[in-house]
A and B are shown apart, each in its own frame.
Chain A
Amino acid sequence: MKYLDIAIDRAVQLGAEYADIRIHKTTTEVLYLQNKSIKSANNDVLYGYGIRVLKDGAWGFAHSSVFTEDAILKTVQKAYDTAKLSARVKNGDGIRLANERSYIASYKTPFKIDPFSIPLKEKAELFMEINQRMMNLKEIKKANSFFRAQKDEKLFASTIGTRLDINTLYINPQITAIAISDDDSQSRTFDEGGRGVGWEWIEQLDLLEKSRYVAEEAVMKLNADELKEEKRRTLILDPNHLGLTMHESVGHPTELDRVLGWEADYAGISFATPEKLGNYQYGSKIVNFVGDNTLEGGLATAGFDDDGVPGQKWHIIKDGILQEYGTTRETAPFIGVDYSRGCNRATYYYDQPINRIPNLYLLPGKEELTPAQLISDTEEGVYIQGRGSFSIDQHRVNFQFGGDFFWEIKDGKLIRPLKKVLYRSNNPEFWNSCDAICDKRYWKPFGVINCGKGQPNQTARMTHGASPARFRNIRVGGSK
């Protein structure tokens, strides 16, 4: 597109040390039903461009949705002027970008059926039927269904000669049943957090069948007991639950911008400081975390990031030891590294990209181990499925998590459902207490589409994954 060249040429003329332009169109379809009422049937388009200029070691970022040559030139100028202003407040020589070569490439999320091609009527009928089935149980007073499809079409050019054409797509179905009695209300949700695939995933999921267990388990939860006391117990966590746990306690602490203190005013910083690289026992020896922006179906899989750095796969934690961070061209040099791991992403065209969590997952156990064997090998504990309340401090050390469904384990058997279970732990206690991980047959990916970070807030997406895993000696109880 000619606008890419106009912007880059102008930035070079002005004397930018580096500049890029991202023309970005985001199309979103949202369908949300409460009981039998369609609360949202939305189609939203955001289309514009953001221009980043690095001048005198400082950034300026300007955005616009006006597509004329004049508007592009003015936006470049604005970004340049803003960078010059920024340079009045810098440390030393300011920002230096890690080395990267240029690319001319394209990427497209592989999918079979475009979710935007499925008529709204068909989608609405499916989710209406799901809500109706959930409400067939008399205790289910509220049934909610949510479907989101999003495509992002990006053209990227930079002053180092990179030209990219990126088209990504994801969908996220969620269904929730809420059982309500005179003295309590409990919900159960099916939500795999979204995936970079097409409508074919909806066909595979059999949401109508899933609505049955979602409703039944909401009622079971309503009638379930609570744990009477908090004490040290064994936890078995399912992959969906682990997705959120690893997001908060491994993903965020290993974002290099947080490590460097760049989010100190809001999202927070990280305990996982650079002197710990290569020697800090983050987890037990069976704990291996991989950053992988090449993961098929991964929500952060886009070919390249918004620095023009290709997707990569690397160990963040290997054999329990902290190895590396998720980095960008801007953050990596601050720890003496001259390459980026490709984690710089912006949400919409008007957002300046920031260091984000990549697709991040826990590798499965090497020994054959089924979830049934894991449970039968556990004398006493709690098995947690799905995601619930989550709260973690601004250094990413201490946390408290709930869940969506809970089973009490006794003598190797699931003996009764529980509700309102919370567990509290910290880094490094938690991941070091992991003593068993099921094998690769039970590994599942789970997405996060609403990772909030930055000021003004940006919402990023990424995929996590795990096999069921066991954690010993964790404080588990209720709210008090």
Chain B
Amino acid sequence: MKELVSRIYEIIKKEHKADDYEVYISFSDNHEARFAQNAMSQHMTGQIVKVVYKASIDRKTASSSVNQYDEDTIRHLVKTTEDLARISQEDPEYIDSMGKQDYPKTDNIKSATMNLTPEMIVDIIKDAVDFAKSKGTKLSGIFSLNKTSFYFYTKRGFQGSYDTCSYEFSMTMKEGERETKVSTAGKDFSKFSLQSQLDQLYSQFSSLDKPNAMEPETISVILRPQAVANIMMYLRWLLDRRMADDGITPLKGQIGKQFFGEKFNMSTVEKDDNMTIVPFSNDSVLKQIDWIKDGVLKAQPISRTYANMIDEKPSSMFNVLIEGDTTSEEDMMKMAGRGLIINNFWYIRTNDMRTFDLTGMTRDGVLYFENGKVKHSVNNFRFNEKLHEITRRIMALGESTIVFNSSVVPTMLIKDFHFIDRTNF
């Protein structure tokens, strides 16, 4: 692989006439096995190659990509891109490519994941489906395995590469109106336990009887990690410094201020046992950064272009760790007395970026608890909520766990969550 990449890069170095350039090359091996209603529904495999060349001439920039890598194609890629750059317009926000920089070493490759075979993947799915059948339910989901090698070069001297190998697995169990989901992901398959996933799935499923009708209200909620990840991931986008300074989000001038709740801590980390670590992008190099500490906005992602304009250092949210604590769900129920346990959120969208106002719905089962104990399941709800205000109402946090390959989040107990509508089916 490295030899092939060198050969591609040598052609570009030889052929280019640009003042500056960036080259990205990636090789990605994917295996995706989807199943639905207790049967395999799609099963895909193959390698995807991508060669991207971004050229700048007289502060005019263009980019092209191809997925073939023979000499003629790469020559054509260089010429096409540079021709485009020449007839483009000078960019008033132009910035040179990244220069030589060190970046953190990664530990993404684990033999258990690398050694996963299609046969093993189908075995996992078959065992899961057999379990679902034994319980008289229908199972749908996906097991995906991705192995990628990524290379990045610039004319100004940045040279970097990293490898990733990760898996994701999700299952939705359904029977009649009862429906719930579990999902997991990681870079080390040796930590995967189908039995614990099935136990969790069936435990969630068993707790869902015929949902009792419940009207929307402002009520305490225990958000399980999938729900937390799905709503808090909006901060990856909305925390952006330029959008704040432009007045598109409410964060203008909030650096150093207590904009979020005191129990809310969000960071990007250089090392993690479970998450896939991406050590650099074309915009910046991975650094440990506390974005929000004890509710105080400490830093915001800044693109290289904008960092250059405001004389700051660029930073990216390569991964997200929301700090947890040790409160169990049982203790959360006792603390709140009365409330709802939310397995997941669905179809979250912004109502208004300027106020961080989001809408979305519950999914995969909602449980009503009272006097510290689960009473029964209830219908789904729609919420309209302001993201930062949710963090101000955090009462307690559970242990953090990996949800997606680049996010680790805890269970959260939130006071006074605003549901505005029932979503009956």
Contacts and interface: CB of A to CB of B under 8 A. Distances in A.
Interface of A: 36-38, 40-48, 50, 58-65, 75, 78, 81-83, 85-91, 94, 119-121, 124-125, 128, 141-142, 178, 180-182, 184-185, 260-266, 268, 271, 350-352, 354, 389-395, 397-398, 400, 402, 420, 422, 424, 454-456, 479-480
Interface in B24-77: 30, 32-49, 60-68
A389 B349 contact: yes
B323 interface: no
8 tightest A-B CB contacts, nearest first: A63-B46, A86-B40, A121-B87, A264-B140, A262-B36, A398-B423, A265-B172, A41-B62
B62 A91 contact: no
Contacts of B61: 38, 41
- Among A64, A78, A86, A119, find the residue whose CB has the most chain B CB atoms closer than 10 A: A86
A421 B23 CA distance: 45
Contact of A354 (B42, B87, B354): B42
B247 interface: yes
Interface string B346-388: 1111111110010111010000000000000000101010000
Given A43-B80, A58-B43, A262-B37, A89 B89 contact: no
A247 B142 CA distance: 25
29 contacts: A37-B93, A41-B63, A43-B62, A45-B67, A61-B43, A63-B45, A65-B48, A86-B40, A86-B43, A88-B40, A89-B40, A89-B126, A120-B84, A185-B246, A185-B247, A265-B181, A350-B48, A389-B350, A391-B360, A391-B361, A392-B347, A394-B363, A398-B361, A400-B382, A402-B351, A422-B359, A422-B384, A456-B32, A479-B352
Interface stretch (B117-125, B148-156, B394-402): B117-125
A91 B382 contact: no
Contact of A88 (B47, B66, B122): B122
B346 A265 contact: no
B119 A85 contact: yes
B46 A141 contact: no
Interface in B111-145: 118-119, 122, 125-126, 129, 138, 140-142, 144
Contacts of B179: 264
Nearest to B44: A61
B47 A64 contact: yes
B91 interface: yes
Given A58-B43, A85-B119, A180-B247, A390 B349 contact: yes
A9 B410 CA distance: 54
Nearest to A424: B421
B348 to A, nearest CB: 7
A63 B88 contact: no
Given A43-B80, A264-B140, A389-B350, A398 B382 contact: yes
A37 B118 contact: no
Contacts, number: 234
A393 B45 contact: no
Given A271-B425, A391-B361, A393-B380, 10 more contacts: A42-B64, A43-B64, A44-B66, A47-B66, A58-B43, A63-B46, A121-B89, A260-B37, A262-B37, A422-B351
B138 A180 contact: no
B193 interface: no
Nearest to A46: B67
B36 to A, nearest CB: 4
Contact of B89 (A50, A128, A271, A395): A128
B231 to A, nearest CB: 13
Nearest to A402: B351
B364 to A, nearest CB: 9
A265 B141 contact: yes
Given A43-B64, A90-B40, A265-B172, A397 B91 contact: no
Contacts of B351: 389, 402, 420, 422, 479
B346 A393 contact: yes
A75 B119 CA distance: 17
A265 B64 contact: no
Nearest to B364: A394
A83 B43 contact: yes
B165 interface: no
Contacts of B33: 86
A455 B34 contact: yes
B170 A265 contact: yes
Interface in B317-369: 346-354, 357, 359-361, 363
Nearest to A392: B347
B190 interface: no
B196 interface: no
A391 B65 CA distance: 34
